[in-house]
């Protein structure tokens, strides 16, 4: 079906990107065979890795792939969690390491124009210097702009500020036949024909290669505080969430987590979580225009929590304390990842999370396993980890029959997502490993429309083939 890469094609690729921007050594290509997903079974070596320097080189490379029918898989920083950048059919992996320029920070229009390979660390730093703010904050700051847009990444701050989709105002895209198109621009409103921009956002590199983006920025809030609220059980914690949202205060983030993963992360980082009591926590981030205002917000939020069985309310009121808490929250995944099989991304309506998570813990009991579950409580985006090992009193032991249990648990949790009117992925995307569950949540007709759109953009199926759905 696909052509293998031979010497002639390598020569052509060298002509396009230069010898120094091509990797053919198998050992050096191992890093390009997987993303952050733990499952080793899905890894696949590319035949070649190339690192174009600009959209013209991207265009030349994709034209070659179209002509020769060679699969081409674009790859950001590989921080994905569903195998989205694994080159399942071999071929070429295209890395954006050489396309990481921030082209323009436009303070009058509050827009940044940048290349797809810029990562969040560099973006936050560059705009921070100009007093500007890009609200989306997915877990891993090494993620690149191209990947964030391709998966419509979310993160904790989506509660108040929205997801990546809400901030993308323009993109430069290279289509599978090599044509470079510019969609949108530095304007806040656009009702000018079908939104190809929004079709490309979240299309996981299967319709076109995003080479540049224009992102809308905000002015950062004056003050931001973080609360940690311990509860005796997770249900009480999560039940508080709709009450917080219905309040006049719109929190930046409301995260939920349980004691187990928090303790493991404390040990890993050698940092202390602000409270030792309670078995479940809410972590609430609030921002405001002034100290007085935020104090009032914290008081209101604290009172709502205490009225709903919170044990206590801890305020991380300085930068150090806040970073400590946020660091433990964001490293929770790191602490678990070597012992787990997969992190799920089921998203349910906010009011259904308590029931959903209660049912997840029933599955945990039923299978005598450990399913550490935490996530973005206020937007219903729940991350359940299917584990291979469990942690008891600081030591890890292998879970009995985890191989047999894994697919069964996986299916049960997705069925629960369906039962509670949710969706398979809130922010990670479908990639390779969630394809089998897409049609549990999305009608076959819709998937068929997606397939036809794919064929329309990419008739030879060269662009990140094997992802989202089977053709």
Q: Which of 172, 134, 150, 151 minimizes the C-alpha distance to 55?
A: 172
Q: Counting contacts by CB under 8 A, is residue 15 touching its own copies?
A: no
Cα separation, 24 vs 374, in Å, equals 40
Reading phi first (left if > 0) and then psi (alpha if -120 to 50, else beta), residue 181 is in beta
Least distance to its own copies from the beta carbon of 40, Å? 24
In the range 173-192, which residues lie near its own copies by CB under 8 A? 175, 179, 181-192
Among 59, 66, 144, 151, contact with its own copies (rule: CB under 8 A): 151
Q: For residue 208, count CB atoms less than 10 angstroms from its CB and return exposed for 0-12, middle for 13-18, buried for 19 or more.
A: buried
Residue 100: alpha-carbon gap to chain centroid: 20
Asked if 46 contacts 28 with a C-beta cutoff of 8 angstroms, the reply is no
Which residues neighbour 136 within 8 Å (Cβ) at sequence distance 6 or greater?
148, 153, 154, 155, 157, 158, 161, 162, 163, 164, 167
By beta-carbon proximity to its own copies, the closer residue of 33 and 347 is 347
Q: Counting contacts by CB under 8 A, is residue 436 touching its own copies?
A: no
By beta-carbon proximity to its own copies, the closer residue of 338 and 452 is 452
- Please identify, among the stretches 63-71, 112-120, 163-171, 305-313, the one whose residues bind its own copies according to the rule CB under 8 A: 163-171
Tell the residue number behind the tokens 């400590």, with chain if given.
Answer: 324
By beta-carbon proximity to its own copies, the closer residue of 180 and 275 is 180
Least distance to its own copies from the beta carbon of 188, Å? 4
Q: Counting contacts by CB under 8 A, is residue 276 touching its own copies?
A: no
In the range 315-344, which residues lie near its own copies by CB under 8 A? none
By beta-carbon proximity to its own copies, the closer residue of 25 and 108 is 108
Q: Which residue stretches of 130-247 are H helix? A: 145-151, 158-161, 196-200, 234-246
Q: Counting contacts by CB under 8 A, is residue 289 touching its own copies?
A: yes
Q: Counting contacts by CB under 8 A, is residue 129 touching its own copies?
A: no
Least distance to its own copies from the beta carbon of 44, Å? 22
Cα separation, 431 vs 181, in Å, equals 25
By beta-carbon proximity to its own copies, the closer residue of 27 and 108 is 108
Q: Counting contacts by CB under 8 A, is residue 443 touching its own copies?
A: yes
- The contact pattern for its own copies, residues 352-391, with x = CB under 8 A and - = no contact, is ------------------------x-xxxx----------
Tell the residue number behind the tokens 């997502």, with chain if given.
Answer: 417
Cα separation, 32 vs 109, in Å, equals 37
Q: Counting contacts by CB under 8 A, is residue 303 touching its own copies?
A: no
In the range 82-111, which residues lie near its own copies by CB under 8 A? 106-111
Least distance to its own copies from the beta carbon of 427, Å? 5
Among 23, 285, 450, 463, contact with its own copies (rule: CB under 8 A): 450
Question: What one-character-per-residue DSSP string does 288-303 give?
Answer: ESSHHHHHHHHHHHHH
Asked if 127 contacts 106 with a C-beta cutoff of 8 angstroms, the reply is no
Which residues neighbour 293 within 8 Å (Cβ) at sequence distance 6 or greater?
none
- Total interface residues for its own copies by CB under 8 A: 95
Beta-strand relationship, 92-95 and 72-75: parallel
**For residue 340, what is the enclosing H or E element?**
strand 340-343
By beta-carbon proximity to its own copies, the closer residue of 116 and 391 is 116
What SS3 state is found at 158?
Answer: helix
Which residues neighbour 457 within 8 Å (Cβ) at sequence distance 6 or greater?
175, 176, 206, 207, 208, 463
Among 118, 159, 326, 409, contact with its own copies (rule: CB under 8 A): 159
By beta-carbon proximity to its own copies, the closer residue of 88 and 311 is 88
Least distance to its own copies from the beta carbon of 171, Å? 11
Least distance to its own copies from the beta carbon of 166, Å? 6
In the range 230-249, which residues lie near its own copies by CB under 8 A? 242, 245-249
Cα separation, 48 vs 292, in Å, equals 57
By beta-carbon proximity to its own copies, the closer residue of 238 and 387 is 238
Q: Counting contacts by CB under 8 A, is residue 30 touching its own copies?
A: no
Among 15, 121, 408, 449, contact with its own copies (rule: CB under 8 A): 449
Q: With the C-alpha atoms ordered 86, 90, 94, 97, is the resulting torsion angle positive or negative?
A: positive
In the range 196-235, which residues lie near its own copies by CB under 8 A? 196, 198-199, 201-203, 207, 218-219, 221-222
């Amino acid at each position: 079906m696909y052509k293998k890469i031979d010497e002639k094609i390598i020569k052509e690729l060298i002509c396009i990107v230069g010898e120094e921007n091509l990797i053919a050594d198998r050992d050096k290509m191992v890093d390009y065979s997987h993303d952050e997903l733990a499952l080793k079974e899905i890894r696949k070596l590319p035949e070649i890795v190339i690192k174009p320097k600009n959209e013209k080189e991207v265009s030349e490379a994709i034209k070659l792939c179209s002509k020769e029918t060679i699969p081409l898989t674009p790859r950001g920083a590989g921080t994905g969690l569903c195998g989205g950048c694994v080159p399942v059919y071999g071929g070429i992996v295209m890395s954006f390491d050489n396309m990481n320029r921030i082209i323009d920070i436009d303070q009058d229009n509050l827009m940044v124009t940048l290349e797809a390979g810029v990562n969040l660390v560099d973006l936050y730093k560059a705009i921070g210097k100009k007093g500007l703010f890009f609200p989306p904050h997915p877990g891993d700051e090494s993620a690149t702009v191209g990947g964030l847009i391709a998966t419509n990444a979310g993160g904790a701050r989506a509660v108040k500020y929205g997801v990546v989709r809400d901030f993308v105002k323009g993109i430069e895209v290279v289509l599978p036949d090599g044509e470079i198109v510019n969609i949108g621009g530095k304007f806040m409103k656009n009702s000018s024909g079908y939104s190809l921009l929004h079709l490309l956002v979240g299309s996981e590199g299967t319709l076109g290669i995003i080479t540049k983006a224009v992102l809308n920025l905000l002015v950062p809030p004056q003050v931001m505080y973080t609360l940690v609220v311990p509860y005796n059980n997770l249900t009480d914690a999560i039940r508080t969430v709709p009450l917080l949202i219905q309040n006049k205060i719109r929190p930046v983030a409301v995260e939920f987590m349980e004691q187990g993963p928090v303790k493991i992360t404390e040990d890993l980082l050698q940092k202390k979580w602000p409270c030792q009591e309670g078995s479940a926590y809410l972590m609430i981030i609030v921002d405001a225009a002034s100290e007085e205002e935020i104090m009032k917000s914290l008081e209101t939020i604290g009172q709502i929590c205490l009225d709903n069985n919170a044990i206590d309310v801890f305020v991380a009121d300085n930068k150090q304390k806040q970073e400590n808490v946020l660091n433990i929250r964001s490293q929770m995944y790191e602490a678990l990842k070597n012992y787990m099989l997969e992190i799920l991304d089921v998203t349910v309506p906010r009011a259904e999370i308590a029931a959903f998570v209660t049912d997840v813990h029933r599955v945990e009991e039923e299978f005598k396993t450990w399913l550490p579950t935490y996530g973005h409580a206020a937007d219903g985006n729940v991350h359940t980890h299917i584990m291979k090992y469990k942690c008891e009193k600081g030591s890890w032991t292998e879970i009995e029959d985890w191989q047999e249990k894994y697919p069964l648990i996986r299916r049960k949790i997705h069925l629960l997502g369906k039962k509670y009117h949710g969706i398979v992925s809130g922010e990670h995307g479908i990639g390779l490993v969630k394809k089998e569950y897409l049609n549990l949540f999305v009608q076959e007709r819709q998937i068929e429309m997606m397939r036809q759109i794919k064929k329309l953009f990419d008739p030879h199926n060269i662009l990140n083939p094997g992802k989202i759905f089977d053709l």
